[in-house]
Amino acid sequence: MSDEQKWPDVMWVVRHGESAGNVARDKAEAAGLPVIDILMRDVDVPLSPLGERQAAAVGRWFAKLPPKEQPTVLLSSPYLRARETSRLALEAANIKHEDITFITDERLREKEFGVLDRLTRVGIQEKFPDQAEARSVLGKFYFRPPGGESWCDVILRLRSVIDTITRDYRRERVLIVSHQVVVNCFRYLLERMSEEQILELDRANEIANCAVTSYEFAKKIGRRGKLSLDLFNFVAPLEEAGTPVTTKPDAPVAPK
């Protein structure tokens, strides 16, 4: 058996900044409306002005790291809010595109909501009461709305992402910019959690926009070393910059 390190030296998983969808969802929920007022694809929803500030704040946090500790690889969800977060963070960190491997990877996209897209909880109960009941019976881990995904579906595609990371980015410093469910599902995989453990984690923590979750390679853990959790839902970069911390789910939230 080879003793070669298969993991990156460091891996950060960052949720995108606040999006226009977050803002629209808050308004719809507050007004008790069934539908969130966003007339575009979820993939095209941009950052809000606050989200842009959050992305720059986390970028300035990376800028404070010594050059030999900064990201060498950036993997981004293809959704506009994640790509904008990636771009603004790199600019604020003064990391040039030619100095980093920058890849947009569709496997890091948001969980898909299918027929529940753009509906509030009120809207789901009104339009698809059968789906609301099915979710309550199955639980969010296994529930898959028509045309959408369950948490298990997201986990399946992330297993493939981890295969790519361990094949192509050994000993690199990998920054991933993605979405709330993806952050939790990475924890499920990397820490070998159970359904009960990951859902308890989800109940106890709303992943903040531009919060940092990070892992460092620990050589002495396991037979050949593994990634060990260092930071979770870390918002100090935003707080230090005086940037408001936001934790709301995205617009097509339905039941995450």
pLDDT digits (tens, 9 = 90+) for 111-127: 999 999 888 889 999 99
Query: Please, what is the average pLDDT of the chain?
Result: 92
Pick from 79, 74, 16: which is nearest to 50 by CA? 16
Q: Is the pLDDT of residue 47 over 80?
A: yes
pLDDT at residue 4 above 60?
yes
* pLDDT for the residue 48: 94
Q: In degrees rounded to 5, what are phi and psi of residue 19? A: -110, 165
% residues pLDDT > 70 (the chain): 95
Report d(CA 107, CA 185) in Å as an integer: 12
For the beta carbon of residue 81, count every other beta carbon within 10 angstroms.
30
For 205, the token pair is 């923590």
CB 78 within 8 A of CB 109: yes
Domain ranges of the chain: 10-240
8 Å CB contact between 78 and 105: yes
Look at the alpha carbons of 218, 221, 224, 226 in this order and tell me if their dihedral is positive or negative.
negative
Nearest alpha-carbon partner for 37 in 47, 27, 48: 27
Predicted TM-score (pTM) of this structure = 0.92
pLDDT range class, residue 1, cuts 50, 70, 90: very low
CATH topology of domain 10-240: Rossmann fold (3.40.50)
| Strand, helix or coil for residue 37 | coil
Write phi, then psi, for 76 (nearest 5 degrees). Answer: -120, 145
Concatenated DSSP letters of the chain: ------S-SEEEEEEPPPBHHHHHHHHHHHHT-SB----S-GGG--B-HHHHHHHHHHHHHHHTS-GGGS-SEEEE-SSHHHHHHHHHHHHHHT--GGGSEEEE-GGGSPPPBGGGTTB-HHHHHHH-HHHHHHHHHH-TTT---TTB--HHHHHHHHHHHHHHHHHH-TT-EEEEEE-HHHHHHHHHHHTT--HHHHHHHHHH-PPPTT-EEEEEEETTSTTT-EEEEEEEEE-HHHHHTTPPP--PPPTT-S--
* pLDDT for 163: 98
Q: Is the pLDDT of residue 256 over 70?
A: no
Residue whose tokens read 């950060």: 12
DSSP classification of residue 83: H
pLDDT digits (tens, 9 = 90+) for 187-237: 999 999 999 999 999 999 999 999 999 999 999 898 889 999 999 999 999
| Cross-strand bridge partners of residue 242 | none
List the single range of 25-34, 168-177, 237-246 with lowest mean pLDDT: 25-34
Question: How far, in Å, CA of 181 to CA of 141, rounded?
Answer: 11
pLDDT greater than 50 at residue 90: yes
